[in-house]
Structure 1
Amino acid sequence: MLKQSAKLTKTVLLSGMLAASSAAIAQEEMQYGITPPQVNAQTYILMDYYSGAVLAALNPDQRQYPASLTKMMTSYVVGQALRQGKIHNTDMVTIGESAWGRNFPDSSKMFLNLNQQVSVQDLNKGVIIVSGNDASVALAEHTSGTVLNFVDTMNQYVQQFGLKNTNFTTPHGLDDPNQYSSARDMAIIGAHIIRDTPEEYKIYAEKEFTFNKIKQPNRNGLLWDKTMNVDGMKTGHTSQAGYNLVASATNPSNMRLISVVMGVPTYKGREVESKKLLQWGFANFETLKTLEANKEVSEQPVYYGDEGSVKLGVLQDSFITVPKGKKAELKARYELDNKYLQAPLAKGQVVGKVIYQLDGKDVAVVNLQAMQEVKEGGFFGNAWDWLVLTVKSLF
């Protein structure tokens, strides 16, 4: 277990402590002096999926036209509706005027015909694999009744994810002055798709889709690259947006990276720049499991409670990302928010933090949580605890 000194903190080596951990972690832009590659994009980001660490970035919060990257949120909304049983893959959708393929000339589409009956499963593939604007409208109407309602749900998830530079006005992503996103926000949306809708994410790896006897390839050319294991995600392009690509890949160590490039000048360039980032990330960093869910880090006394102590740890696994070869140098300490813990405490309540340090710098923080509920104690016990704390406060 991590130890704590009388001053609330103590640094200890993590040797042998590395296990597993998650979303409670805060690990932002990393300052390790490792120069990222030159990337020809208006904005980009490279993020570790498990730790959330940003390994490299250029203008990551700059608002851009997302183009068809918008469909990532469209597919997320659909994936959640499927999980919740609001819609089903076997539902047959009648294609109306608004989703008719003829309404989207000179843009990507599934080639839906008016009054055609199409399954939700096929429409979903039409959105993800071939970036169908027509399929996006058809799914939006089927899922939420109207496109307006669907877009409202998209923006509810924007708020839920804490995205600061994203607003959607359409389910397909054709340019609109009020529709924008950023490289950082798109990486976060991508991570949510992988984590929250794994069945949905499998579709992103499919290389082609045939509908109405029309065979179309997935526009993410990195799926065919045999030098790396790319299994998603999404391309986007309009004249104002330039060429965009969100890509995700894993390596043999089960590290997963998400790259986003936006505003690349050429079709092929978005693949070239994304590959640069992914290969650089895998070559220079590794992701380590740190705190394991429900595994005790420390046990601390509790005052005014029906229990005399509480176990502290994390309720979800967490990870951190460090430069390769630095694992043995990683140190950690924990700090409590208050010197003396007092009931009531709810299970999962944040009572402190674990801070990871490398080369004398803090590189990541994980919330330290109460692993059990501690209710308020009785009158006599509370009176004794008051006396104990009063005496301690004198020293």
Structure 2
Amino acid sequence: MLAFLRRSLVAALLLPALSLPVRAQSIETAARQAIIVDHASGQVLMEKNADEMMVPSSMSKLMTVYMVFDKLKSGAWKPGDRLPVSETAWKRHYKSEGSLMFLPVNSTATVEELLKGVVIQSGNDACSVLAEAYSGSEEAFAEEETRKSRQIGLTHSIFKNASGWPEPGHLMTARDLSVLSRRLIADFPEYYPLFSQMEFVFNGIKQGNRNPLLYSTPGADGLKTGHTAAAGYGLAASIKRGNRRIIMVLNGMGSMKERAEESRRLTEWAFREWETYALFKAGEEVIPDAEVWLGQAGTVPLLAKGGLEVTMQRRNRPEMKVTTIYNGPIAAPVKAGQEVGKIVVTAPGMVPVEVPMVAAADVEKLGFGGRMSTAFKRILWGKKG
């Protein structure tokens, strides 16, 4: 591994250039808005109008699911809690042409049933029942969704209802949906398997999961489709193969067939053309002998503070550069775990990746006599202290 490293002491002039964003290598798509992201690293593999405000249709139900998962994880709700189906929630949807769980008015359903109704059946009525139980009204719930979305990293989304039913101002971006998808998987691994359930029967009515990738694409295990006349056909998807998982958000396609074919095509492209490379494990030695100035030991090993993995196009792997940056010699005293530099990885088409380097051990400062002797030797002979 050290053969790949180039040491750079006092390399401040490099830092502005390394911090500039790099656009991912793109591939054409029929979607009006699209983004594909590596789940672990956040590396964008492709994007098209990813920050354009768009009608998300039922893909915005993912935010409702996030809110309910959070409620369950906190212990405030239990899967078996029964929630009432109010006349208000029932009337909002019973004459609409949208997807329904077919909840009877003035009945009850468990939180678990309602979640399955949202995720598998895309039930707008189930969303309204959950929203009313959560905030008292769907309008108040939508406001809470918008506030919560900012807290978890969604920068542009605005929610007007819990279901994604067309309403002026109910808008998201493809990038926000990718962030939300990553957060659902990372924050709620215990609940996420719900997204891969193929069918659900409620009130004697069996409905299948609308995610086309679940039926045709190896490794697909979530998340949510969407469709309205204004938005076209969309999909927020997650596909895991081996140790790699990608998140894909597409919107604005012309038909269910185009959505299924385009999502499969882009999935295969992402796994065929891109790879994740593990460079360092957390705590792995990067530099064995970084020089220490005026220390009781003349050197100290430097370690990678966290694991370092990068995702890039396979064809760019030969051009990858791994650089260590620290100001040396490192002035004593040095404490184990002290951050003293960083590793920077660059490659064409990839945003630079950085991970801190830390000292592996304590190095105490020399006493007065030792410091004077070291300084004298350096003056006379240039000897390292």
Q: TM-score, normalised by structure 1?
A: 0.78
1:122 aligned to which of 82, 105, 113: 113
Residues 131-150 of structure 1 mapped to structure 2, 5 A cutoff: 131-150=122-141
Question: 94-103 or 232-241, which moves further after superposition?
Answer: 94-103
Provide closer, same or farther for how the CA distance between residues 150 and 302 of structure 1 changes in structure 2, counting only shifts above 3 A. Answer: farther
Question: 87-96 or 283-292, which moves further after superposition?
Answer: 283-292
2:356 aligned to which of 333, 344, 368: 368
2:157 aligned to which of 166, 174, 181: 166
Query: For residues 296 and 80 of structure 1, what CA distance do their matches in structure 2 show?
Result: 38
Match of 1:276 in 2: 265
Match of 1:234 in 2: 224
Matched residue type, 1:30 = A
Match of 1:63 in 2: 53
Query: For residues 49 and 232 of structure 1, what CA distance do their matches in structure 2 show?
Result: 13
Question: 266-275 or 61-70, which moves further after superposition?
Answer: 266-275
Query: For residues 171 and 255 of structure 1, what CA distance do their matches in structure 2 show?
Result: 31
1:29 aligned to which of 8, 23, 31: 23
**The residue matched to 1:115 in structure 2 has which SS?**
coil
For the pair 1:263 / 2:214, whether they are aligned, the reply is no
Provide closer, same or farther for how the CA distance between residues 39 and 304 of structure 1 changes in structure 2, counting only shifts above 3 A. Answer: same
| Contact 1:27-1:53 at 8 Å conserved across structures | no
Q: In proportion to residue count, which structure has more helix?
A: 2
Q: Offset of 1:77 from its aligned partner?
A: 1.4
Provide closer, same or farther for how the CA distance between residues 142 and 278 of structure 1 changes in structure 2, counting only shifts above 3 A. Answer: same
Match of 2:15 in 1: none
Matched residue type, 2:195 = Y
| Contact 2:346-2:353 at 8 Å conserved across structures | no
Task: Indicate the structure whose relative CO is greater, using CA pairs within 8 Å and at least 6 residues apart.
Answer: 1
Matched residue type, 1:111 = F
Query: For residues 6 and 207 of structure 1, what CA distance do their matches in structure 2 show?
Result: 53
Unaligned runs of 5+ in 2: 12-18
| Contact 1:352-1:369 at 8 Å conserved across structures | yes
Residues 310-329 of structure 1 mapped to structure 2, 5 A cutoff: 312-315=303-306, 317-324=307-314, 327=317
**The residue matched to 2:65 in structure 1 has which SS?**
helix
String of CA shifts for 1:111-161, please: whole Å, max 9, x gaps: 111221211000011111111111112112223444344334422332233
Match of 2:9 in 1: 7
1:333 aligned to which of 320, 323, 348: 323
Q: Offset of 1:365 from its aligned partner?
A: 1.4
**The residue matched to 1:52 in structure 2 has which SS?**
coil
2:63 aligned to which of 49, 73, 79: 73
| Contact 2:6-2:322 at 8 Å conserved across structures | no
Unaligned runs of 5+ in 1: 10-24
1:46 aligned to which of 36, 42, 45: 36
How many matched pairs?
367
Question: 173-182 or 151-160, which moves further after superposition?
Answer: 151-160
Amino-acid identity (%):
33
In our comparison, the structure showing a higher alpha carbon Rg is: 2
Provide closer, same or farther for how the CA distance between residues 362 and 323 of structure 1 changes in structure 2, counting only shifts above 3 A. Answer: closer
Query: For residues 146 and 337 of structure 1, what CA distance do their matches in structure 2 show?
Result: 57
Match of 1:17 in 2: none
**The residue matched to 1:290 in structure 2 has which SS?**
strand
Query: For residues 185 and 4 of structure 1, what CA distance do their matches in structure 2 show?
Result: 37
| Contact 1:87-1:143 at 8 Å conserved across structures | no
